[in-house]
């Protein structure tokens, strides 16, 4: 049994971790923190967990030693506490952005703030399991990737590795409201958020840095950009990626590259059907699952290779991916606790 605690459990990522870990056969949840809900039952914030757990939120100051500490704080917070936290747990999985980028200068350029704990940066392994499985198995510190970064890296990795595309890569991301976390703002206020198709970040998305970090070892000319649009969806993330196939590249070669890299991956499905309603990946049917669905189409007229990737931002995009990493760190089958196949219709 792994004795775990969650620092920042009243948020959306922490709540999803709680949901997954309460059903995990090898985990005991020791403590979960919230400052605003300290002393209150977790089911107050996560009503889906009524009768599933009688845990009560603790204040972060009361955190005790445990085997594995999950951190689900807003970006820029965990680096303030890390020196103390690493004395509390032998292993740490941080879902935030503070330890995703290996270079301090890259973090400071993209996040426009000073890194307060740069000496720990190189100790963290980037948590896309499909790319870093062996390192994660041996690691004590894992950085949970960003959700746009996760789905984009997984969608592009085989194409970049097998040298099938060239030139600029444009990632058009459709984002859900839960990506912004629990804290309300004017832009998340119902009259302002409901029904939107809002250009949220046409350029300069910070997850670009993670994509460059992870894919540039496979290409010396990686040129990638994200344009993100907030749409009317609570959970889920869809990326439509426009790439230029190298001269002569066929659909068959694209299939071959995806099969070579993902044929044995439990959580990646290539979705490219000739018929039916769900011919390409769609976040709607991935809600609550740890799958990343990837599809593609060759546009021979405009000479594009269009890739479509979908995940649940709170599962494969954060909490589920973190549990997948935890399973590896403790030698459990990777799918443990993550078997939920999703719902249809939903
Ligand atoms: N939401 C997503 O789709 C998503 C996807 C991928 C990665 N992530 C990552 O997951 C992390 C958490 O995101 P989220 O969306 O769950 O955020 P959130 O909903 O705002 O939750 C933040 C949590 O941290 C606690 N907290 C906030 N400030 C704190 C502080 N200064 N000290 C101690 N506790 C503090 C909050 O509880 P109290 O204020 O009550 O203490 C809450 O439990 C982020 O770093 C984000 O990058 C999120």
Pair 21, 91 in one domain: yes
The CATH number linked to 23 is 3.40.50.720
| Separation CA 17–CA 1 (nearest Å) | 17
**11 ligand 1 Cβ < 6 A:** yes
Q: What pLDDT score was predicted for residue 188?
A: 95
Pair 286, 170 in one domain: yes
Instruction: For residues 5-13, give the mean pLDDT.
Output: 98
What total number of domains does the chain contain? 2
128 in a structural domain? no
Q: Is residue 301 very low, low, confident or very high in pLDDT (cuts 50, 70, 90)? A: very high
Percent of the chain with pLDDT over 70: 100
CB environment 71-102: b (16+ within 10 A), e (fewer):
bbbebbbbbebbeebbeebebbbbbbbbbbbe
Q: What pLDDT score was predicted for residue 204?
A: 96
Pair 75, 171 in one domain: no
Instruction: For residues 221-226, give the mean pLDDT.
Output: 96
pLDDT digits (tens, 9 = 90+) for 236-262: 999 999 999 999 999 999 999 999 999
Pair 90, 213 in one domain: no
Atom 34 of ligand 1: nearest residue by CA position: 8
Q: What pLDDT score was predicted for residue 146?
A: 98
What's the CA-to-centroid distance between 192 and ligand 1, angstroms? 22
Instruction: For residues 272-296, give the mean pLDDT.
Output: 97
pLDDT digits (tens, 9 = 90+) for 271-282: 999 999 999 999
Atom 29 of ligand 1: nearest residue by CA position: 73
The CATH number linked to 246 is 3.30.360.10
What's the CA-to-centroid distance between 315 and ligand 1, angstroms? 15
343 in a structural domain? no
Q: What is the mean pLDDT of the chain?
A: 97
Q: Is residue 62 very low, low, confident or very high in pLDDT (cuts 50, 70, 90)? A: very high
pLDDT digits (tens, 9 = 90+) for 92-145: 999 999 999 999 999 999 999 999 999 999 999 999 999 999 999 999 999 999
Pair 242, 179 in one domain: yes
Pair 102, 155 in one domain: no
Q: Is residue 308 very low, low, confident or very high in pLDDT (cuts 50, 70, 90)? A: very high
Instruction: For residues 170-186, give the mean pLDDT.
Output: 96
Among 142, 132, 137, which residue's Cα sits nearest to residue 99? 142
Tell me which of 128, 147, 149, 323 is the catalytic residue. Answer: 147
**31 ligand 1 Cβ < 6 A:** no
DSSP label of 48: G
Q: Is residue 13 very low, low, confident or very high in pLDDT (cuts 50, 70, 90)? A: very high
Which residue spans within the chain are E strands per DSSP? Answer: 2-7, 27-32, 66-71, 89-94, 125-126, 141-143, 165-175, 197-201, 223-231, 237-245, 268-270, 292-299, 304-311
Pair 152, 119 in one domain: no
C-alpha dist (Å) from residue 286 to 47, 168, 236, 342, 344: 21, 29, 8, 6, 9
């Amino acid at each position: 049994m792994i004795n775990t605690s969650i620092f920042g459990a009243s948020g959306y990522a922490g709540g999803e971790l709680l949901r997954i870990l309460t059903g995990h056969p090898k985990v005991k949840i020791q403590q979960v923190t919230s400052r605003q809900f300290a002393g209150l039952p977790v089911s107050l914030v996560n009503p889906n967990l009524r009768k599933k757990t009688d845990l009560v939120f603790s204040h972060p100051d009361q955190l005790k030693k445990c085997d594995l500490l999950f951190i689900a704080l807003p970006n820029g917070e965990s680096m303030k506490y890390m020196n103390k936290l690493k004395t509390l747990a032998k292993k740490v999985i941080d879902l935030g952005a503070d330890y995703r980028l290996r270079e301090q200068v890259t973090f400071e350029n993209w996040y426009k703030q000073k890194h307060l704990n740069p000496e720990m940066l190189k100790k963290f392994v980037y948590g896309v399991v499909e790319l870093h499985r062996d390192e994660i198995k041996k690691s004590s510190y894992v950085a949970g990737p960003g959700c746009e970064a996760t789905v984009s890296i997984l969608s592009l990795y085989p194409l970049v590795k097998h040298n099938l595309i060239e030139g600029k890569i444009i990632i058009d991301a459709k984002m859900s409201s839960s990506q912004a976390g629990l804290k309300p703002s004017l832009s998340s206020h119902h009259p302002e958020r409901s029904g939107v198709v809002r250009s949220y970040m046409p350029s300069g998305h910070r997850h670009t840095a993670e994509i460059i970090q992870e894919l540039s070892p496979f290409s010396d000319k990686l040129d990638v950009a994200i344009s993100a649009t907030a749409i009317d969806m609570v959970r889920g993330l869809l990326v439509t990626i426009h790439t230029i196939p190298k001269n002569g590249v066929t659909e068959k070669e694209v299939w071959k590259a995806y099969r070579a890299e993902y044929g044995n991956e439990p959580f990646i499905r290539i979705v490219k059907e000739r018929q039916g309603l769900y011919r390409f990946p769609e976040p709607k049917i991935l809600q609550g699952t740890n799958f990343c669905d990837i599809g593609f189409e060759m546009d021979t007229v405009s000479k594009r290779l269009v890739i479509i990737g979908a995940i649940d931002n709170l599962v494969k995009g954060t909490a589920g991916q973190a549990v997948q990493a935890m399973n590896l760190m403790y030698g459990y089958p990777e799918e443990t606790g993550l078997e939920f196949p999703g719902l249809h219709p939903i």
